[in-house]
Structure 1
């Protein structure tokens, strides 16, 4: 029984290879490229526009849904901090964020960019704003 299955599999693979090589042929020779198809009424620009709109809508929908879940689970800090014995998760997160501010040596009036800030929780909650008086701008991929 195993030899029959092996024979059938080999026959299917051989047939597939024959179909790709002999029937379709190399795309360079026949000039077939998916991006160059023009047999229909859809232009390449229209396909790209629709794709970009779909990706943007999908990204916004995803982040609108998961941001509520993230805030429910983690608060406004969407990153993980090392645990500190005797400290709660919230306290450990605050200490971690303050350590990051200390490491970059923030000075009053300094301009800081937080790329990928999410809802901006660490920017509002830490000494980055409260104590240092720095000017912080956050950039994220969604307008949640």
Structure 2
């Protein structure tokens, strides 16, 4: 183990170097910078999640994604329902072998495995998250049904073999890939003929125009605040599914539903909007005072050497992320829930 490698899987220089992949001013971003992020996507993503994972867990729980809300619905109930909805749309059945691409610390995998009675393999290129996912899953008594492996989702066929899964899903994870054709193509390979792929994709809506400075700045802030090498258009995702050979069975931007409670409300930090008494604590964590406590505490932990150097700076980008996500939702220029259900054709 190198001096920079921590026993929990985190790598110090990845965290400390994360923000160096972006220019401060989005108008100064060059094609070379963009290509560097795409070529170094594993360092970009790992640097981000090495630093941000524990703050995600503190503020959000073990399912790192957004969801729709019913009026009065609790935060964690909405996350579970979002996962159940994907499993239902995919028509997952007991005994299926399912791949979770970009599984985080395993919250969705544990929930979907229990809900649909399927066997899930979670793949993640971040060793820190893989270790945590295994620990939480064993604690839940699901380690025989849900397993996790470290791997690059741009090389799924090499790791798992072609035609090896009945179904594959990805929840707000494939946005971290250097190209959608690349990641969707790998997913298509590991699916058995007739297998289903379900995804909630992060993308800029087709109302987004990079020639408009404010639109370009929004995409830049989403990238640096969320560890994404490049934000791309929803229409480009649709083309990518077709280009790699998938047949789209259903697609919908769920953020376009006329929900009374918007998907981004937990990031606004407005205690008046908390849907349940329990959620007051969660909403407080994204308020100005909650963020002050979190980030002051994190800086102290870093000064004491209890978290790797650079963790505080990475987590400062979460403030950027929160503001940009709310703005993206309010302007309808961004969605975290472009739902696509598609199928690998049967072999002729």
Q: Give the TM-score normalised by the residue count of structure 2.
A: 0.24
Which whole-Å CA distance do the structure 1 matches of 2:98 and 2:73 have between them? 29
Cα RMSD over matched residues?
A: 2.1
Residue pairs, 1:103-114, within 5 angstroms: 103-114=89-100
Match of 2:77 in 1: 91
Given the superposition, is the C-alpha separation of residues 85 and 58 from structure 1 closer, same or farther in structure 2, using an over 3 Å criterion?
closer
Structure 2 residues not aligned, in runs of 5+: 1-38, 129-348
Which whole-Å CA distance do the structure 2 matches of 1:101 and 1:143 have between them? 26
Greater strand proportion: 2
Bigger RCO of structures 1 and 2 (CA < 8 A, at least 6 apart): 2
* Superposition deviation, residue 137 in structure 1: 0.7
Which whole-Å CA distance do the structure 1 matches of 2:116 and 2:42 have between them? 36
Structure 1 residues not aligned, in runs of 5+: 1-50
Given the superposition, is the C-alpha separation of residues 118 and 94 from structure 1 closer, same or farther in structure 2, using an over 3 Å criterion?
same
> For each residue in 1:21-68, what CA deviation from the matched residue of structure 2 results, as whole angstroms up to 9, or x when unmatched?
xxxxxxxxxxxxxxxxxxxxxxxxxxxxxx97xx86665443122000
Given the superposition, is the C-alpha separation of residues 80 and 59 from structure 1 closer, same or farther in structure 2, using an over 3 Å criterion?
closer
Structure 1 residue runs of 4 or more that deviate by more than 6 Å after TM superposition: none
Match of 1:45 in 2: none
* Superposition deviation, residue 131 in structure 1: 3.9
Which whole-Å CA distance do the structure 1 matches of 2:66 and 2:42 have between them? 27
* Superposition deviation, residue 133 in structure 1: 2.2
1:77 aligns with 2:77: no
Query: Which protein shows a greater Rg?
Result: 1
* Superposition deviation, residue 132 in structure 1: 2.6
1:62 aligns with 2:48: yes
1:101 aligns with 2:73: no
Greater helix proportion: 1
- How many residues end up aligned between the 2 structures? 90
